[in-house]
Amino acid sequence: MADAEPDVYVMEHARAALAKDPRVAELELDVTVAADTVFVSGTVGSEERRQAVTEVLRELLPEREVVNQTSILSVGSTPDSERIE
């Protein structure tokens, strides 16, 4: 990816890569770019996926710093979960 690409293209390219890469496969991650830093936030299902987010972005954008602010969703903590008795 060229350094001269506008940040909006970098953000969209990164989001697409995170959604398509089987190590991550997350559609709901937020990616923002500020100067030479890429910030990613949202929720992933495991520590392995959280680490994969960083790996994918570093592979895609090796010239930029990656700040991974994702959190891990713990089982049973979803607000949309339904209790079955």
Tens digits of residue pLDDT in 7-64: 889 999 999 999 999 999 999 999 999 989 999 999 999 999 999 999 999 999 999 9
pLDDT band with cut points at 50, 70 and 90 for residue 79: low
Mean pLDDT of 61-77: 88
Q: Is residue 72's pLDDT more than 80?
A: yes
Q: What is the pLDDT of residue 2?
A: 47
**Helix or strand or coil: residue 39?**
strand
Residue 6 contacts by C-beta under 8 Å, 6 or more apart in sequence?
Answer: none
Listed ranges 28-32, 71-75, 76-80; the one with the highest mean pLDDT: 28-32
Cα 23 to Cα 47: distance, rounded to the nearest angstrom:
11
Q: Please name the amino acid found at residue 77.
A: S
The two structure tokens encoding residue 78: 């979803």
- State CA 48 to chain mean position distance: 12
